[in-house]
Amino acid sequence: MRYKLLGNSGLRVSELALGTMTFGQENEDGVADKSTSRKLFHAFIEAGGNFIDTANDYTGGTSETHLGEFIASTGERDRFIVATKYTANMRSDDPNGGGNSRKSMVQSVEASLKRLQTDYIDLLWVHMWDSVTPIEEVMRGLDALIRSGKVLYIGVSDHPAWVVSQANTLAELKNWTPFIALQIEYSLIQRTPERELLPMAQGFGLTITPWSVLGAGLLTRKFNKKNFEPREREAEFERLAERRNEKKYGPRELGIADAVAELAEVSGRSSAQVALNWVRQKGTIPIIGTSKISQIEDSLAALGWTLTEKEMQLLDEVSNIELGFPHDFFQSRNVKKAFWGSTFDQVDRVRPIAHVDPTRMAR
């Protein structure tokens, strides 16, 4: 396990994050019981992992409760980077039981601190955009939590790029604490964040922590075309789509799954490891979440090797998407000529890493 700086901060986090959405109760569908959850936690930390992701609403709060107990049992709370989220409604009949408001924020953080058995949250994510709370209210409230010592860093999850841009620009102007990380869905199956979210994150120095890096299970060996007769494979595929409550997967996605499986077979690795390493080698910190020990062991084994440049290129090509306007427009030959003349290929367009003024980091 290696460690990376999280965004424009000095925080060192493991190159994989443990997702605890599956930490739940016995007899719950698709979750790990307490005993299995404890084993998943220990498998991750024994591999050197220190970055653990949860949320106030995961398994109705049980995820935070279990995680708090597991960490307390180690007697080493300060070794872990505990990330949790607020936004989800925990009182379904109360319009203020969730959302991005400061009231929801404060109430959620206080409840999370109790469930996690801790005095502070290392990283608080704004879970998703509620579309109504003024961004000034969100950023001012988050900054107050940081100044109180209850939260150390903040991140943003599942927001439009323009909202995140507005938030961090406002924070800079007001001398409030900015977001340092962005959590989004990103995988070989879901590459649309490359249109706006990834360039925005790069511009603001945000670390990407993607979820669903295996395409909700599509990018695993079990979907290899060799494992199913055509009709069986389509039926299994439809069941997967129903579990996601979506019908967005089709021939393109199945083709990507086949390419991953074929590359895995050639390299002697698992399909999950191939898909995970593609995301990891894009410079992100993937979130690995599972309800089975065998699956987390497989994911952790991806750290022992990397895809070659040719293998990355192959996967890039098979999963390629159209970036659309204005990105494709800027890459057209006539536009390049109009703005660059004949010098386009002579200009190094990679900017040096921006210097971080340490005086601005002091609060």
**pLDDT surpasses 80 at 198:** yes
Q: Parse the chain into domains and list their residue ranges.
A: 3-183
pLDDT at 357: 47
| Active-site residue (options: 3, 58, 120, 186) | 58
The pLDDT of 123-146, averaged and rounded, is 97
Average predicted confidence (pLDDT) for the chain: 90
351-358: average pLDDT: 53
Question: In the block, which residue shows the tokens 């001398």?
Answer: 175
Two tokens, residue 140 = 């001012």
Instruction: Report the b/e string of 258-284 with b at 16+ CB within 10 A.
Output: bbbbbbbeeeebbbbbbbbbbbbebeb
pLDDT at 109 over 90: yes
pLDDT at 361 over 50: no
Measured CA to CA, the distance from residue 240 to residue 167 in angstroms comes to 36
- DSSP one-letter string for 156-218: EES--HHHHHHHHHHHHHHTPPPP-EEE-B-SSS--GGGTTHHHHHHHHTPEE--B-TTGGGT
pLDDT in tens, 61-90: 999 999 999 999 999 999 999 999 999 999
Share above pLDDT 70 across residues of the chain, in percent, rounded to a whole number: 88
* Three-state SS at 270: coil
**Tokens at residue 299, please?**
């994911």
* Residue 58 is among the residues annotated as catalytic for this protein: yes
Q: What's the confidence (pLDDT) of residue 339?
A: 87
The pLDDT of residue 49 is 98
Q: What is the pLDDT of residues 14-70, one digit of tens each?
A: 999 999 999 998 767 779 999 999 999 999 999 999 999 999 999 999 999 999 999
Element holding 229 (H helix, E strand): none
- Using CA of residue 26, residue 32, residue 33, residue 36, what is the dihedral sign? positive
Closest C-alpha to 158, from 59, 220, 92, 88:
88
CATH 3.20.20.100 fits 3-183, yes or no: yes
